[in-house]
Amino acid sequence: MATAPVIIAVRDVVNRFGTQTVHDGVSFDVHAGEVFGIVGGSGSGKSVLLKTMLGLRRPDAGVVEVEGRDITQMSDAELRDVKRRYGVTFQHGALFTSLSVTENIILPLVEAHRLQEATLQSLAELRLRMVGLPVEAGAKFPAQLSGGMIKRAALARALALDPVLLFLDEPTAGLDPIAATAFDDLVLYLRRTLGLTVVMVTHDLDTLARTCDRVAVLVDRKVIVDTLPGIVRNEHPWIREYFHGARGRVIDGQQGGAGHGA
Amino acid sequence: METASSRMPEEAYFNARVDADQAQLLLAGDCRAADLAELESVLAAWRAAGARSLDLSEAGAFDIGPAWLLRRALADCDTAPQMRGSLPGHFAYLDELLAGGSARTADRPPPPRQPPALAQLGRQIEARLHSWYEALTYGGQVISTAGGAWASLKRLRIPSIVRHAYETGYQAVPVVAVIAFLISVISAYISAQQLRPYGGEIFTVDVVAIGVLRELGVLLTAIMVAGRTGSAYAAELGVMKLNDEVDALESMGINPYEVLVLPRILGLVIALPLLTIVADFMGLLGGAMLTRYLIDLPWPQFFTRLDEAVGPTTFWAGLVKAPVFGLLIGLTGTLRGLQVRDSSRELGRLTTVAVVQSIFLVIFADALFAIFFLEIDF
């Protein structure tokens, strides 16, 4: 992994809200083609970090480079071009409730390009197939979908513009273990076949173990990045509590198999 | 001959060319999602020309979307075109995707057929009747909740009622006062002009006083409140409904009619008569000022004339309608809010319906009152 090119470089990022400092010099790299997990306690600034990487929030200090270009200094127009390179899914799907699934998926395409209706329908069908939804689901409205289908539909919308980067916020939260495992497999499959780079915020230890090549832990306003076995061995008290607490044993047992090598 | 190209930084330009005579399509460079529109138009031109050969020898990398469109176009060809160069790498992945189903769009379910006109009419009538039935049921539920709530002060939620009366009444005083003042000035001005040729300018006072006290004061106030509060009730309850907050209340064994609906309606029933008194006062003030300056009627004489023009019931004939209007607006706003389900568009639609219907109901009820008062000579 270490030899793959760096696709996102976060350098000495500082985020403050008033007198409260959320990030104090956070630095890490995300390599092309890897699945990168972000974990941290409530209020540790996971969402703020994600927004900073997405260019939705300008950090108070520091640099975020996406494909070698500093997005913190960009004009809005340049930033829009960068945004077309990535897809995002939000924690609760954030599908537009007044549009059908197909209309949700083609919305970014309609906004970005002039295409025939038949082409749009065909592309929507492609995205539905890519995320493993039946083609009939396209005519349904978000309120008619189950939680797992909403996550998949949101992923289909995120894939609409053929992104190279995928940001997933809690992709498996609220799913049953079978659906969560299926979603993990889907992410891995897309990563393998399309060479996507995936950045995900997750609290699901199984998802971390199954999918993530490397993990960033937000503690004490800093970040610690390592492979999962490396993180699990870390002596920091919060990290010990996180991975070795009552809920952490699942990971413990898999220590050997989870890593993909540093 | 059709040429199209587009710019992508640090990548090979996408370049597509259709040779209409040979029915040949040449694709060169990287084909990204940004090139979808060009690809679509050259594919259409190529197929129109007959789609006999395809040259991919200079083609670079394809994104999934463009690869899918190209694959679709190839699948739609009657005879396989002559190929040069190799197919995009993603074709294997797309084959894998399609392994379970056919590549054609035809397997999508056909759009539902329009039922015959008579059936549509019947369905619309049924929907209308059902909506009346729903409104009646709702009214009944509110009344039975109200009946139960009288039993104890706690269940009546006095603080909540006061808050809603404050928000819908006190905070609406400025706008209601200004509107009432202006409308009465306008009606006084017009009637003074019409009455002048007959030398009856003094009757302007009658027109303004009776008009404002019996009709204009209460009606304008009700319409203002319907726009202001009817929409607010529908939107508040609608968002709570979308957020499952109403279900959450019910799951705690709390009656949502008791905590959400009844205080809102009672607050409005209290606030609207009070607002009407403000509107009446401002209306008479406007009339007095206009007659003072337009027909030089001194203040004392205005009030003497006012006393003669207004009967003992005139003021009450207006005021007694206010709680009824308040009830209608409150019922409509809360009912439409609770009918919101599933989508943000429903929220907007039902908020609009709440305002339009409550204004309609207010005016309709006003007409009934007019006939009724005429019959009983009130």
> pLDDT digit string (tens) for A19-58?
888 888 888 888 888 999 998 888 788 888 888 888 888 8
State both tokens at A185. 């497999």
Query: Nearest by CB to B40, which of A116, A121, A126?
Result: A116
Query: Nearest by CB to A194, which of B36, B64, B109?
Result: B64
What percent of chain A is predicted at pLDDT more than 70?
92
d(CA B212, CA B221): 11
Cβ distance A169 to A51 under 8 Å?
no
Cβ distance A201 to A168 under 8 Å?
yes
Identify the pLDDT of residue B4: 40
Question: Quick one: which of B369, B205, B225 has its CA closest to B303?
Answer: B205
- Residue B30 has phi, psi (to 5 degrees) of -80, 135
> pLDDT digit string (tens) for A239-259?
888 887 766 655 554 444 444
The number of helix segments (H) and strand segments (E) in chain A equals 10, 10
d(CA A239, CA A234): 7
- Determine, for residues B108 and A136 on separate chains, whether the beta-carbon distance falls below 8 Å: yes
Identify the pLDDT of residue B128: 92
**What is the ipTM for the molecules in this complex?**
0.72
In the DSSP assignment, the letter for residue A32 is: T
Cβ distance B105 to A121 under 8 Å?
yes
| 3 state SS of A17 | strand
- Determine, for residues B342 and A143 on separate chains, whether the beta-carbon distance falls below 8 Å: yes
- pLDDT one digit per residue (tens) for chain B, 378 residues: 333 443 334 557 788 888 877 788 888 888 888 888 888 888 888 888 887 788 888 888 888 888 888 888 888 887 778 888 888 877 878 887 777 554 444 455 566 778 888 999 999 999 999 988 999 999 999 988 888 887 777 778 888 999 999 999 999 999 999 999 999 999 999 998 999 899 888 888 898 999 999 999 999 999 999 999 999 999 999 999 988 888 888 877 788 898 899 999 999 999 999 999 999 999 999 999 988 888 888 888 888 888 888 888 889 999 999 999 999 999 999 999 999 988 888 899 999 999 999 999 999 999 999 999 999 887
d(CA B332, CA B135): 8
Which segments within chain A are labelled E, that is strand?
A: 6-17, 20-31, 35-40, 61-66, 69-70, 86-89, 165-169, 197-201, 214-219, 222-227
Flag whether the pTM goes above 0.95. no
> B293: Cβ–Cβ under 8 A, 6 or more apart, which residues?
none
Q: How far is A256 from chain B (nearest CA, A)?
A: 31
- Sheet containing strand A69-70, edge to edge, reads A20-31, A6-17, A61-66, A69-70
- Cα separation of the two ends of chain B: 86
Query: Nearest by CB to B65, which of A84, A97, A162?
Result: A162
Cβ-based contacts of B109 with chain A (< 8 Å): 136, 139
Q: How far is B8 from chain A (nearest CA, A)?
A: 10
Which segments within chain B are labelled E, that is strand?
A: 2-6, 14-19, 24-31, 53-55, 59-62, 82-84
Identify the pLDDT of residue A234: 80
d(CA B319, CA A125): 62
Cβ distance B180 to B225 under 8 Å?
no
Rounded to the nearest 10 degrees, how much is the dihedral formed by the CA atoms of A213, A219, A221, A224? -30
> B40: Cβ–Cβ under 8 A, 6 or more apart, which residues?
A115, A116, A119, B69
d(CA A209, CA A257): 9
| 3 state SS of B114 | coil
The number of helix segments (H) and strand segments (E) in chain B equals 17, 6
Identify the pLDDT of residue B76: 81
- Determine, for residues B34 and A113 on separate chains, whether the beta-carbon distance falls below 8 Å: yes
Identify the pLDDT of residue B104: 41
> pLDDT digit string (tens) for A91-132?
887 888 888 899 888 888 887 778 888 888 888 888 888 888
